[in-house]
Amino acid sequence: MKQKILFINQYYYPDLASTGQLLTQLCESLAKDFEIVVLTSFPSYSVTTTHRKKLFTQESRNGVRIIRVFSTSFNRKNLLLRALNYITYFTSATICALFLKKPHIVVAQTDPPIIGLVACIVHWLRGSLFCLVCQDVFPEVAVVLQKLKGLPIIIMRYVRDIFFRTSQAIITISDGMKEELVKRGARADRVHVISNWIDTNIVCPVDKNNAFRQQHGLIDSFVVMHSGNIGLSQDFDVILECADKLRQQDIEFVLVGDGAKRAWLAEEIERRRLRRMRIIDYQPLSELRFSLGAADLHLVTLRSGLGNLIVPSKIYGIMGAARAVISALPSESEITNIINRFHCGVICREGDAAEIAAAILRLRDDAETTRLMGERGREVVCRYFSREVVVAQYKEFFSALLKEDGLKK
């Protein structure tokens, strides 16, 4: 009989949030070897449907049992309303989790940050093993972004300490992030590094003059793309400044995605009259290879101070699409380490628009170097960061955790 793993995260298929997409792929792959149950909320895109009025629903998809529980769906830009979304999901998930058959392992991600408390309760009352998956370091990210201060920070750090003391294992996505967690009190022997990934069968090299370019009138242009969340963590000021410096060049800046700063960014593009810069909606995962592949070059940025607190997972999709990347990140970031190690892009100083603009022009004028960078990225992602490779690491990890627990008993 398969051993049961319960995953708890607010986002899951069909949500477009990256944590939801990654968790969906992970759970569907693990379902071959484990009994997988996901405790999640209703899809955020369907906030107006009657599903939002239900306390919970159940469905099965690709071998995974999905339980969706009620939560409010207020605008995430308002901190208090966003907190209410978290609290209602937390309350519904707690009640539901206690009525489920005992899992062997309960896995909580940090979206929302307090959701690990549900896993703690299941661990305390049911005796399940508790594994925490950290996609970022909270609440430090919120502190850097000035989204939290005062008492909420103290409370969140207290909650995190509970997770560190209670969990049997912590998974994080980079060596630098592990160092940050250990620095903040996690036991080094309990923290394991398993990177994020891209499905290299879905995101693969395509002709850059594909339907996406044709649809958006980009056939004859050199395209510099930022793909993914248009949120608070990314440095869009430097991208705007870079586009301003290159406004006389035949270079199109294309931003594909959505997020908290999209409206502001659209206003800035209009205010600065950046006619060669545009925003395009998120693309479905099945179409992602065409949008990523339509770029000649990709940009990855982060706000200062976030170097080891966040790993922009868009890098794996860029590499999967065999495209070169310009990184404008803190020197200690995981992306900087990947580019330094595998020579699949160019590293610029964070916040330095002049250096980024010069790098864009240099790579535009050296098509062969740009192509080789992209090809190296594809080779590397297939070897180290593909869905098959990383899921195998998760399978080995969970099997070892269950075996160790069996030996103790």
| Per-residue pLDDT tens digits for 286-332 | 899 999 999 999 999 999 888 889 999 999 999 999 999 999 998 88
Spatial distance between the Cα atoms of 21 and 398, rounded to a whole number of angstroms: 20
Q: CATH classification of 211-384, choosing from 1.25.40.340, 3.40.50.2000, 3.40.50.280, 3.40.50.2300?
A: 3.40.50.2000
Q: CA–CA separation, 336 vs 332, rounded Å?
A: 7
Q: What is the pLDDT of residue 17?
A: 76
The per-residue pLDDT for 48 is 40
Distance CA 409, CA 405 (A): 6
The Cα 115–Cα 304 span in angstroms is: 27
Domain ranges of the chain: 4-197+386-408, 211-384
pLDDT at 50: 45
Q: Which one, of 238, 198, 173, 233, lies nearest residue 323 by Cα?
A: 198
- Is 8 in contact with 115 (CB distance < 8 Å)? yes
- 131-164: pLDDT as tens digits: 999 999 988 998 888 887 888 889 989 999 999 9
- Angular region, 408: left φ>0, alpha ψ -120 to 50, beta rest: alpha
- Looking at CATH, the fold of the domain delimited by 4-197+386-408 is given as Rossmann fold (3.40.50)
Q: Given this model, what pLDDT does residue 196 score?
A: 96
pLDDT given at position 44: 66
4-197+386-408 against 211-384: fold identical = yes
**Which residue positions in the chain have pLDDT lower than 70?**
44-53, 75-79, 407-409
Q: Return the closest-CA partner of residue 325 out of 353, 295, 352.
A: 295
pLDDT value of residue 76: 62
Structure tokens at 114: 């307090």
pLDDT at 142 (0 to 100): 87
